[in-house]
Amino acid sequence: MAVALKDVLKTNGGLWFGWSGDTLKGPTTGELKAMRHQGIDYATIDLNENDYKGFYAGYSNNILWPLFHFRLGLLEYDRKQAEAYRRVNRDFAKALMPLLGPDDTIWIHDYQLIPLAAELRALGARQRIGFFLHIPFPPWAVFSALPDAEVLLRDLLAYDLVGVQTRRDLAGMANSLQDGLGLELDAGGGVTSLRDGVKRRTQLSAHAIGIDTRGFATTARKAAFGTDAQRMKDSMGDRQLIVGAERLDYTKGLPHRLRGFGALLANFPEHLNRVTYLQVAARSRNEVATYRDLRRELDQLAGRINGDYAEFDWTPVRYVARAVARDTLAGFYRAADVGLVTPLRDGMNLVAKEYVAAQDPEKPGVLVLSSFAGAAESMDGALLVNPLDAEAMAEQLDRALKMPLGERKERWATMMQGLEEQTASRWAENFLAELAEQDVAEPPPAVE
Ligand code: ADQ
């Protein structure tokens, strides 16, 4: 995503605005830090520790993240965090407002910043503002669990265009707007609302994010000759390789994947000592307790499978709990016979796309993909699984490991064609083109 947005900014000009990533001990100064790096202008502000905890770790990551991923049992609501979320969005709006030109287009990203347009509108912003949600959008039956559900839905109506990843998310959002606020979609897929006397139409649409397909394929091709990929291959002998990679997050279905792999070894013993599963899981959000618990669960599961099945010369699960360099990862994808991507919910899932882009066209591997990933909507060549069903995952893994070359090539080619059409740059261009088509809301007529 960052690559695509940087390309847009380099081509069209513009400013990247957001949190600096730094957390201050004292009160936030609200001071803007400006810098120019590789042809792009950045303006960032710091957060103080309280705001970091309330806005970022708290409301965004411990309330909105589980909510939007349908995990109501993990949602720990706290009104103070809701206030911090709003306050920080207001502070961002105040800092951004003086930087805006009258004809600027503003594109806001993701769940941390849903109220930003409403806060900008309150300060008088009349520019076109678009919003893209990178994660799923649940229907009202789930979304209504949030005490601030209606407030957040109304925040969406300050945008001219709201984009989500898939048709499923679009249906979720439309359902939430309808049942939560009583708003019906018009024939063009938009809703009209009134805010401070201004009538605005908000277009809703799905724009699946892609990757830099060609760039990633080239990285993978080169990485295959690198020392990391070579060491990996040497250590495998003639065994097959299954690969998984993600942030260590409970939405990614990592324990389910380990159980699925365990079921493969239990139900299809012909794979014993013939296949290795490499899982690379970059630690993430360690300040949230659920993430620490997940780490413990994975350590136990991986240890148990290895204890049960390992031989003196074979470790079934290789589990690396850290980030690895992008080209190393690309080399691992290319070396792997199966890419195993099994989130319980995921907006899109770029690992699925990267795995396919990284394959050798002459001997491509097979993607085993959760039907709950947004990517499943467009990746027809994958073997789909429900990650909650370990036996079914084992069956699909067995099928993938034994799939004849002809079928592998056919499945890969259809997916690769899709990825070449739906790149990250195309995603950004399409979103911005649709935003440019939206009429700017007219101010109310002046009272004589
Ligand atoms: P994420 O939840 O972060 O993104 P994803 O789309 O899979 O999930 O992107 C992860 C990225 O991190 C990939 O580029 C991957 O290569 C990289 N990565 C994963 N594990 C790594 C590791 N161990 N070491 C190094 N790099 C690693 C959110 C949403 C997704 C949506 C994207 C983009 O949750 O659903 O696809 O935004 O919109």
ipTM of the shown complex: 0.98
Q: Whose CA is nearest to atom 28 of ligand 1?
A: 134
* CA atoms lying within 13 Å on the CB side of residue 73: 3
Distance CA 29, CA 85 (A): 17
- Active site (annotated) includes residue 37: no
- Active site (annotated) includes residue 69: no
Quote helix, strand, coil % in the chain, to nearest 5: 50, 20, 30
Strand extents, DSSP E, 94-228: 105-109, 128-132, 161-164, 190-195, 198-206
Q: Which pLDDT tens digit goes with each residue over 169-224? A: 999 999 999 999 999 999 999 999 998 889 999 999 999 999 999 999 999 999 99
What's 444's DSSP letter?
P
Distance CA 306, CA 318 (A): 9
φ/ψ of 232, rounded to 5, equals -60, -50
Q: Whose CA is nearest to atom 37 of ligand 1?
A: 134
In the structure, what pLDDT confidence band is assigned to residue 337 with cuts at 50, 70 and 90?
very high
Q: Whose CA is nearest to atom 4 of ligand 1?
A: 349
Q: Which pLDDT tens digit goes with each residue over 12-56? A: 889 999 999 889 887 777 788 999 998 899 999 999 999 999 999
- Using DSSP, state whether 437 is helix, strand or coil: helix
Ligand 1 pocket mutation pick from 70, 111, 247 by most atoms within 8 angstroms of CB: 247
Q: Which among 69, 134, 207, 271 is annotated as catalytic?
A: 134
Q: Nearest 10 degrees: CA dihedral of 77, 83, 89, 90?
A: 170
> Which atom in ligand 1 lies closest to the alpha carbon of residue 351?
7
- Model pTM score: 0.96
Angle between helices 227-236 and 326-335 (to 10 degrees): 30
What's 285's DSSP letter?
-
Q: Which among 169, 249, 337, 346 is annotated as catalytic?
A: 346
- Using DSSP, state whether 200 is helix, strand or coil: strand
> Which atom in ligand 1 lies closest to the alpha carbon of residue 352?
7
Ligand 1 pocket mutation pick from 168, 254, 351, 356 by most atoms within 8 angstroms of CB: 351
92 burial via Cβ count (<10 Å: 0-12, 13-18, 19+)? buried
Q: Whose CA is nearest to atom 8 of ligand 1?
A: 349
